């Protein structure tokens, strides 16, 4: 029986029902692949942040950051290093230098990537600026890993800021700001923030004391131990070269932070100090580096020179430092003579426990 004969036999009512069934029959559809989502959450002493896409955060040197990731509609997930991961999870990191962590989520040919760059930052308040007779003190300190900082001052025990500074530029690792609001005599909580695109991340906090009648806060200092690392061999030094003369391990064995400000060196060899036209010092993290150069007069006075570096070292932390000498473009008068550069002094805001001088590496000038 064909459809025409069937409709005739069903009559008018059947024809209506048959037409309705054709209209209501579902059409075949193809499921659309969904693009995965990606959300990262970071939690550290500098604060908690959630985002998708790319982001930058600060992390105080020596601290940990917990990174959590979560994705929907992902059939595969991996980290930037290629390791396979689940669609959601958490991992704790303690990077020693600025690092980027990326996450890739895919569903077929659709891929979503999100990442966070963790910038290592450190900073301190200069202790002497935290005790002031002036009600409008100048606060100073050090900072690295950030181009700008901000300070907030609150009455002790009160979370609401009494004074908030404008953005303070960091220049050669140092910053300072004059408080333009009168601070009544007393004790205050002061916080140092790293600033990036008006986003603040706390670096450190301390106590500020104003006025004669304010009780002076007893401040402990770190204890610095300096130990030579016997890995440098010396050898032949040639004109224009940069040669390592000392490799030092510096440890804060005290209970409070300290700031390392530099090293005093002495040339005890037979070569002239004029053969050295520059001195550099750097730490193992790559964050701290400084140099002094020949500027028309000798770097040395009475055979000694000072190499400055401003590095905060928290209690229990160990840092490695390399001191290098930059040699003159001509050393003809010193051929066959020696450089024996020793560390005779360490400048730090801390008690020093080290047997000085620390003997350096011997180099002989040659062709």
Question: What per-residue confidence (pLDDT) applies to 20?
Answer: 42
DSSP-derived secondary structure letter, 358? B
Q: Please list the helix, strand and coil fractions of the chain in percent, rounded to the nearest 5, in that order.
A: 10, 55, 40
Residue at a domain's end among 65, 86, 121 = 121
The domain that holds 324 is classified in CATH as: 2.60.40
The model's pTM = 0.47
User: Rounded CA gap, 71 and 66, in Å?
Assistant: 17
* Joined tokens for residue 99: 């690092």
136 and 90 in one domain? no
C-beta separation of 140 from 126 below 8 A? yes
Out of 12-21, 123-132, 195-204, least confident range:
12-21
User: Rounded CA gap, 153 and 158, in Å?
Assistant: 10
User: Rounded CA gap, 340 and 329, in Å?
Assistant: 19
359 and 232 in one domain? yes
151 and 187 in one domain? yes
User: Rounded CA gap, 59 and 145, in Å?
Assistant: 9
Average pLDDT rounded to a whole number, residues 341-365: 87
Chain-centroid distance of CA 9 in Å reads: 86
C-alpha angle 185-186-189 in degrees, rounded to nearest 5: 130
99 and 152 in one domain? no
User: Rounded CA gap, 271 and 362, in Å?
Assistant: 11
The domain that holds 56 is classified in CATH as: 2.60.40.10
Residue 28 lies in a domain: no
Residue at a domain's end among 217, 238, 257 = 217
Residue 190 lies in a domain: yes
Q: Which residue has the higher pLDDT, 90 or 27?
A: 90
Residue 10 lies in a domain: no
213 and 227 in one domain? no
300 and 229 in one domain? yes
Residue 249 lies in a domain: yes
Residue at a domain's end among 189, 217, 245 = 217
Chain-centroid distance of CA 228 in Å reads: 26
Chain-centroid distance of CA 118 in Å reads: 8
Q: What are phi and psi of 334, to 5 degrees?
A: -110, 10
User: Rounded CA gap, 190 and 224, in Å?
Assistant: 26
Percentage of the chain surpassing pLDDT 70? 86
Q: Count Cβ atoms below 10 Å from residue 144 Cβ, excluding itself.
A: 21
Q: Which residue has the higher pLDDT, 98 or 16?
A: 98
Residue 197 lies in a domain: yes
Question: What per-residue confidence (pLDDT) applies to 16?
Answer: 45
204 and 147 in one domain? yes
Chain-centroid distance of CA 313 in Å reads: 13
Q: What is the DSSP string of 2-13?
A: -HHHHHHHHHHH
251 and 192 in one domain? no
357 and 230 in one domain? yes
211 and 238 in one domain? no
Q: Which residue range forms the structural domain that includes residue 201? A: 132-217
pLDDT over 90 at 66, yes or no: yes
Q: Which of 216, 199, 196 is nearest to 208 (CA)?
A: 216
Question: What per-residue confidence (pLDDT) applies to 83?
Answer: 92
Q: How do residues 184-218 score in pLDDT, each as one tens digit?
A: 998 999 999 988 765 678 888 899 999 864 444 44
Chain-centroid distance of CA 76 in Å reads: 32
Average pLDDT rounded to a whole number, residues 129-141: 90
Residue 12 lies in a domain: no
User: Rounded CA gap, 217 and 156, in Å?
Assistant: 13
Q: Count Cβ atoms below 10 Å from residue 220 Cβ, excluding itself.
A: 12
Residue 240 lies in a domain: yes
Residue 299 lies in a domain: yes
Q: Count Cβ atoms below 10 Å from residue 140 Cβ, excluding itself.
A: 17
**pLDDT mean across residues, the chain:** 83
326 and 233 in one domain? yes
User: Rounded CA gap, 361 and 230, in Å?
Assistant: 9
User: Rounded CA gap, 231 and 284, in Å?
Assistant: 14
The residues, ordered by sequence, that sit 6+ positions from 2 with a Cβ below 8 Å of its Cβ are: none
Tally of structural domains, the chain: 3
156 and 98 in one domain? no
């Amino acid at each position: 029986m064909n459809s025409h004969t069937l409709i005739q036999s069903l009559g008018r009512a059947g024809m209506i029902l048959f037409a309705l069934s054709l209209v209501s029959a579902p059409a075949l559809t193809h499921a659309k692949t969904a693009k995965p989502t990606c959300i990262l959450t970071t939690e550290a002493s500098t604060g908690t942040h959630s985002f998708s896409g790319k982001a930058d955060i600060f992390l105080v040197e020596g601290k940990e950051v917990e990174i959590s990731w979560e994705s929907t509609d992902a059939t595969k997930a991996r980290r930037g290093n290629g390791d396979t991961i689940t669609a959601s999870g958490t991992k704790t990191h303690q990077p020693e230098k600025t690092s980027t962590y990326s996450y890739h989520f895919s569903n077929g040919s659709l891929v979503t990537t999100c990442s966070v760059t963790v910038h290592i930052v450190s900073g301190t308040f200069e202790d002497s600026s935290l005790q002031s007779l002036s009600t409008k003190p100048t606060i100073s300190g050090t900072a690295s890993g950030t181009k700008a900082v901000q300070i907030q001052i609150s009455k002790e025990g009160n979370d609401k800021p009494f004074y908030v500074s404008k953005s303070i530029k960091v220049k050669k690792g140092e910053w300072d700001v004059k408080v333009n609001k009168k601070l009544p005599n007393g004790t205050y909580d002061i916080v140092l923030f790293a600033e990036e695109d008006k986003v603040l991340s706390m670096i450190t906090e301390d106590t500020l004391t104003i006025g004669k009648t304010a009780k002076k806060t007893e401040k402990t200092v770190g204890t610095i131990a300096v130990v030579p690392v016997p890995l440098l061999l010396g050898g032949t030094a040639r004109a224009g070269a940069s040669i390592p003369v000392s490799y030092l391990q510096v440890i804060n064995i005290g209970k409070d932070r300290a700031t390392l400000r530099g090293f005093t060196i002495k040339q005890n060899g037979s070569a002239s100090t004029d053969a050295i036209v520059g001195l550099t010092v750097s730490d193992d993290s790559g964050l701290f580096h400084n140099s002094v150069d020949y500027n028309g007069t000798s770097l040395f006075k009475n055979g000694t020179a000072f190499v400055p570096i401003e590095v905060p070292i928290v209690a229990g932390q160990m840092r490695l430092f390399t001191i290098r000498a930059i040699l003159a473009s001509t050393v003809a008068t010193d051929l066959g003579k020696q450089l024996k550069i020793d560390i005779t002094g360490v400048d730090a805001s801390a008690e020093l426990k080290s047997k000085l001088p620390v003997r350096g590496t011997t180099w002989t000038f040659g062709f």
